[in-house]
């Protein structure tokens, strides 16, 4: 009986930025738990390849090509998904970027770019999906934050600021929408092997620092985020709201 709490059969999940990396892994995990998944990104060919892989795994999958920073496109596409595919039961706001640079020289246009991709997108897609969820009286929203929502590191201050905003936007969404039957939570990944982190993965000095800094002594593998996502997307988390679940190998637990 308890395992049924994690069963996502019959649910539809939209995962933004899911052509590769963390988004793809989360979509795969939700699909294997029974959900029909909708992949999102701006590259139609990449999404088609990702959808083919998931389909070969027996997962019901569709794609939605749109820019999460384009509010009219977000609203139009979410409306089309609701009409043509079905109600969105689960939203995972995963899309985001990283732009490293010294803070004193950081360009204003790059600051705006990272805020649009990492913060505005969460608001735009979250708002568009929540409106229909509110009408139905239920829904799950999972925002992908970061351990950098709580800790900074040299050269990523704007990214840290953006993920701190995602953390508090998650709390705000909970405060406004929990009364309508929505659960809004976040996952805070630590250091995972992804295309976004490829430069760090290839840096021997950083690898040495990371393995010593992380109690688990290693990088995370993206599949290790699937359990947290399934939990927050399922009935098992129906009274969990406004929380951030860190999946970081223990980095934030120790100095």
Domains in the chain with CATH codes: 2-248 (3.40.50.720)
pLDDT > 90 fraction of the chain, expressed in percent and rounded = 95
So what's the pLDDT on residue 255? 79
* pLDDT per position as a tens digit, 26-49: 999 999 999 999 999 999 999 999
The DSSP element (H or E) to which 141 belongs, if any, is strand 139-144
Look at the block and give the residue holding tokens 């229909």. 132
Predicted confidence at residue 40, as pLDDT, reads: 98
For residue 188, how far is the Cα from the chain centroid? 9
**Mean pLDDT of the region 124-138:** 98
CB atoms within 10 A of CB 37: 30
Check residue 41 and give its pLDDT. 98
CA-based torsion, 143, 43, 68, 161: positive or negative: positive
C-alpha to C-alpha distance for 220 and 229, rounded to whole angstroms: 15
Question: Please, are residues 249 and 231 in contact by the beta-carbon 8 Å criterion?
Answer: no
Q: Is 246 a catalytic residue?
A: no
CA distance 72 to 124: 9
CA distances from residue 188 to 78, 110, 133 in whole angstroms, order as listed: 25, 23, 24
Predicted TM-score of the model (pTM): 0.97
Q: Is the pLDDT of residue 14 over 90?
A: yes
Q: Phi first, then psi: what are they for 92, rounded to 5°?
A: -115, 110
SS3 category, 219 = coil
What pLDDT sits at residue 168?
Answer: 98
Q: How many residues does the chain have?
A: 255
Treating both helix axes as pointing N-terminal to C-terminal, what angle do 121-136 and 157-177 enclose, rounded to 10 degrees? Answer: 10
Residue in 24, 106, 154, 159 annotated catalytic: 159
Q: Which of 206, 234, 217, 227 is nearest to 28 (CA)?
A: 227
Residue written as tokens 């000095």?
A: 205
How many other C-beta atoms can be found within 10 angstroms of the C-beta atom of residue 252?
14
- Name the helix (H) or strand (E) containing 64: strand 61-65
Q: Report the pLDDT value the prediction gives residue 196, as an integer from 0 to 100.
A: 77
pLDDT of residue 1: 56
């Amino acid at each position: 009986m308890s395992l049924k709490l994690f069963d996502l059969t019959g649910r539809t999940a939209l995962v933004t930025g899911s052509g590769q990396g963390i988004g793809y892994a989360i979509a795969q995990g939700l699909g294997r738990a029974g959900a029909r998944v909708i992949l999102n990104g701006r590259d139609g060919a990449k999404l088609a390849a990702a959808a083919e892989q998931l389909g070969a795994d027996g997962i019901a999958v569709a794609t939605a090509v749109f820019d999460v920073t384009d509010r009219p496109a977000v609203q139009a596409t979410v409306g089309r998904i609701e009409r043509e595919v079905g109600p969105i039961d689960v939203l995972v706001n995963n899309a985001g970027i990283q732009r490293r640079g010294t803070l004193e020289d950081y360009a204003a246009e790059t600051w705006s770019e990272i805020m649009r991709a990492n913060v505005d997108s969460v608001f735009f897609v979250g708002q568009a999906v929540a409106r229909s969820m509110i009408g139905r009286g239920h829904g799950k929203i999972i925002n992908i934050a970061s351990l950098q929502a709580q800790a900074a590191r040299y050269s990523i201050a704007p990214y840290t600021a953006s993920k701190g905003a995602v953390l508090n936007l998650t709390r705000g969404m909970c405060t406004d929408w929990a009364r309508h039957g929505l659960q809004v939570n976040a996952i805070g990944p630590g250091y995972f092997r992804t295309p976004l982190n490829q430069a760090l993965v290839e840096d021997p000095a950083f690898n040495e620092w990371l393995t010593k800094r992380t109690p688990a002594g290693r990088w995370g593998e993206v599949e290790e985020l699937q359990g947290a996502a399934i939990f927050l997307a399922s009935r098992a988390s129906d009274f969990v709201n406004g929380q951030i679940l860190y999946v970081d190998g223990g980095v934030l637990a120790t100095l």
